[in-house]
Amino acid sequence: MSKLNLVLFGPPGAGKGTQSAFLIQKYGLVHLSTGDILRAEKDAGTELGLMAQEIMGRGDLVSDDIVISMIRNKIEAHLDAKGFIFDGFPRTKAQAEALDGMLSAKNEPIVVMLALEVPEEELVKRLLGRGAVSGRADDQNESVIRNRIHKYETETAPLKDYYGAQGKFKGINGVGGVEEITARLVAAIG
Ligand code: ADP
């Protein structure tokens, strides 16, 4: 059976993590969040984590080489997965091309990119709200949040065209109740 490999896409604060939790349950998928992996490295105090910490604290992107090799290791560690949800990856064209290379070598391509769409002012509000309870430093400073959104617009949003050219892009309204948005995603997966 072919694997259900999904890219869950969208700006910081779009709800990718929240929605991933439902989708992994429903479809039995493995969740790969580069942000979660980087934060785990930081908490473990590894060299990689300490280096990434500074970059994440500014709201800049960690280098392509680092995140690509993290994802490669995770894919190799879950060869029996029914599929993956890629959350927060790919974030650049180089990352998308590397991911295509890894998956096509296995004949298990990305099936669809689900792009959650949320207006900027709503994102800033959500992220500041999350920062107030989660302790995530990059969610507590409005200029860091705006930098992340800016990086998303310039480096990451163009990937909609990359997947669009493969006929795999689906835009999803990311404003509304959590369950309502889940239903939109499930309908788009089909
Ligand atoms: P958010 O989507 O809210 O910004 P993430 O947890 O996805 O949160 O990412 C947090 C930070 O981790 C990013 O601002 C960036 O510094 C780093 N990061 C995560 N994924 C990537 C990636 N694919 N490429 C480069 N940097 C990344």
Backbone angles phi, psi at 99, to 5 degrees: -65, -45
Residue 151 CA: which ligand 1 atom is closest? 14
1 pLDDT higher than 80:
no
pLDDT of residue 45: 97
61 pLDDT higher than 80:
yes
CA-CA distance, 73 to 61, in Å (whole number)?
20
Average pLDDT for residues 46-62, to the nearest whole number?
96
13 pLDDT higher than 80:
yes
Task: Indicate the pLDDT class of residue 26, thresholds 50, 70 and 90.
Answer: very high
What pTM was computed for the model?
0.96
Question: Catalytic annotation on 72?
Answer: no
User: How confident is the model over 110-148, as pLDDT tens digits?
Assistant: 999 999 999 999 999 999 999 999 999 999 999 999 999
37 pLDDT higher than 90:
yes
Task: Find the distance separating the first CA and the last CA of the chain, reported in whole Å.
Answer: 16
- Token reading at 173: 């309204």
Average pLDDT of the chain is 97
Tokens 């507590």, residue located: 140
Backbone angles phi, psi at 9, to 5 degrees: -115, 160
pLDDT of residue 129: 97
- Cβ atoms within 10 Å, residue 119: 11
Average pLDDT for residues 36-55, to the nearest whole number?
96
3-state secondary structure of 15: coil
Among 72, 138, 139, 153, name the best residue to mutate to test ligand 1's pocket (greatest count of ligand atoms within 8 A of Cβ): 138
pLDDT of residue 175: 98
83 pLDDT higher than 80:
yes
User: How confident is the model over 165-190, as pLDDT tens digits?
Assistant: 999 999 999 999 999 999 999 999 99
pLDDT of residue 115: 98
Architecture in CATH of 5-189: 3-Layer(aba) Sandwich (3.40)
Lining ligand 1 with CB less than 6 A are 12-13, 34-35, 38, 55-56, 59-62, 67, 88-89, 91, 95, 138, 148
